[in-house]
Amino acid sequence: MTSERTLREAHPTERAVGMDHYVSGADGIGGRLRESPEDFRVRELEAFDAAPLDADPGSYPDVVLRATLRDWDTNDFARRLSDALGISRERVSWAGTKDKRAVTTQLFTVRGIDADDLPEIRGAEIEALGRAGRSLSFGDLAGNAFEIRVADAVDEAPERVAEAVADLRAFAGGEGADDGDNSGDADAHEFSIEATVGVPNYFGQQRFGSRRPVTHLVGLAIARRDPREAVRLYAGNPAETEPDDTRAARDRVDAAFGVSGGSESGDAGDGPAADGTGDGDWTACLDAIPGKLRFERSMVHRLADRGVPPDAPPDDEDWWHALEAVPSNLQRLFVNAAQSSLFNRIASERLRRGLPFDRPVAGDVVCFADGDAPEALYAPDTDRLQRVDEDRVSLVARHCERGRAFVTAPLVGTETELGDGEPGEIEREILADAGIEPGDFALPGEFDSKGTRRAILLRTDLDVTFADGDPRFAFALPSGSYATVLLREFTKRGPLDL
């Protein structure tokens, strides 16, 4: 068995979703993200080819455009674009959804229009690139390149960044600070550092909800075949960070289920569960729920329509019916968030035990690198998996060192095969603690999931500069990885403080 490591504890909001520790023991630089949209720049790295603009529209019905958006949510921009073109929103497609408070550059495809039809939209620079025979999809996004400024960092930021980079270099398989490529004078705040760094490939707070992280709790209840509790956790279950009217509405839903005093969104299994002794007055709940909580209203409306008693069996069809009132993508998100939280917990336990992330031990399952990914990315291909027995540890470790292979952990589903040895022991202990087995994800409709595996190490070539007093971080990450998971190692602040 390995020996446990002494690690710096993460923020409570992060621990609630399985991110228990930091890799770096360095003090944080503090600061804030997104003081202005220009402080957070994201450029997509796509694997999508376009034919010329004069290609035959019959064979290439989609116009491919590149949009640089300032302070635009991707969904809102797509809706604005479709409205300006007078077409259905369903004819606009993209590969990755971006946050609003940023400057983002990404591709879109629009079906059945001419490039000359493209409108001018405030806060958007739109360039037609060509035509395509199909619409963009999530699989076309290889990754993202980031340029991020952290505003109002502490005066000691250069020294603390250098210390953190040393820790993250070592975690990625490097040799620490002395092997870095640094220049400038840290004390004079004219400083730059370039290094290959690594952190656990956690799912970031955005996956679960920054202000009210409950999606994983809903998903875990679904996997346990308890749709009643899933509905209650989503529609009830108030959080301290919510406005008063929202908290009051959720308290009313909890009372209908038989939960008094509210509960806080937190660790899996924390807080009171519905005991079935509530008043079941779903009409009163609807009166209390504000219109902005439209998905919660949809769920409760179905309960009211059917007059579902609060003590109906937890897996009764009526509860499933209420749960399915939300859009199919949100149904999938519930289950995906549950899988993500379990992955985070597995990664945290591996970190706590001192098992390496940059190379395998006996019992690990590795995947190989995606040969089609852009050169800037360390991109894993989880469709190509291999178990590592004792005889192959050294060989596979060399592949990992060269960026050709990555150690993985499960995103548990019906077809997930768990590891062996100590890695498999960790996986099974985390699942047992959550009351989950792979077969539990054989679920109705959109909730069903076969599962997959995910690389546990997030590695990137990091460039940090201090030209004007505030640090600027430049790096690229594969699709599905989170910039905030890297930045948290430097800021050491809670998600809501950034």
| Range(s) of the domain holding residue 75 | 38-144
Q: Which of 289, 314, 339 represents a domain boundary (last residue)?
A: 314
CATH, residue 52: 3.30.70.3160
Q: Is residue 237 part of a domain?
A: yes
Q: Is residue 302 part of a domain?
A: yes
The residue type at 124? A
Q: Is residue 269 part of a domain?
A: yes
Q: Is residue 261 part of a domain?
A: yes
Q: Which of 90, 123, 144 represents a domain boundary (last residue)?
A: 144
pLDDT at 195 over 50: yes
Element (H, E) at 218: helix 215-223
Q: Is residue 326 part of a domain?
A: no
Q: Is residue 408 part of a domain?
A: no
365-423 residue pLDDT tens: 999 998 888 877 888 999 999 999 999 999 999 999 999 999 999 999 999 999 999 99
Q: Is the pTM of this model over 0.85?
A: yes
What is the number of alpha carbons within 13 Å of residue 490 lying toward its C-beta?
31
CA distance 415 to 23: 31
Mean pLDDT for the stretch of residues 168-176: 87
Q: Is residue 202 part of a domain?
A: no
Q: Are 387 and 407 in contact (CB under 8 A)?
A: no
Same domain? 235 vs 137:
no
Q: Which of 314, 347, 367 represents a domain boundary (last residue)?
A: 314
Share of residues in the chain with pLDDT > 70 (%): 93
Buried b (16+ CB within 10 A) or exposed e, 423-444: bbbbbeebbeebebebebbebe
Q: What angle is formed at CA 75 by the lines to CA 43 and CA 97, rounded to 5 degrees? A: 35
Active site residues: 99
Mean of all residue pLDDT scores within the chain: 92
The number of distinct structural domains making up the chain is 2
pLDDT at 126 over 70: yes
338-375 residue pLDDT tens: 999 999 999 999 999 999 999 999 999 999 998 888 87
pLDDT at 81: 97
